[in-house]
A and B are shown apart, each in its own frame.
Chain A
Amino acid sequence: MEKLDLNKPVEIAKDIFWVGFDDPNAGFRCNPYVLNDGEETVFFDPGSVPHFPIVLGKVMRATQLERIKHVIVTHQDPDLCSAIPRFEELVEGVGGGFDICTHTRASVLIAHYGTRSPFYRVDANDWKLTLKSGRSLRFIFAPFLHFPGAFMTYDEKSKVLFSGDIFGGLSFDWNLYANEYYAEAMKAFHENYMPSRKILKHTMDKLDALDIEMIAPQHGSIIRKRDVRAYIDILRNLECGEDIFE
Chain B
Amino acid sequence: MSTVSSQYPTTMEPMNTSTEQPLLQVENVAHYYGSRVGCAKVSFSLWPGEVLAIVGESGSGKSTLLNIISGRLALSEGSITYRDAAGQPYDIANLPEGAKRRLLRTEWGFVHQHPRDGLRMAVSAGGNIGERLMACGERHYGTIRNAGKEWLHRVEIPENRLDDTPASYSGGMQQRLQIARNLVSSPRLVFMDEPTGGLDVSVQAKLLDLLRHLVRNLGLAVVLVTHDLAVARLLADRMLVMHQGAVVEAGLADQVLDDPHHPYTQLLVSSILQG
Answer yes or no: are A and B bound together in one complex: no
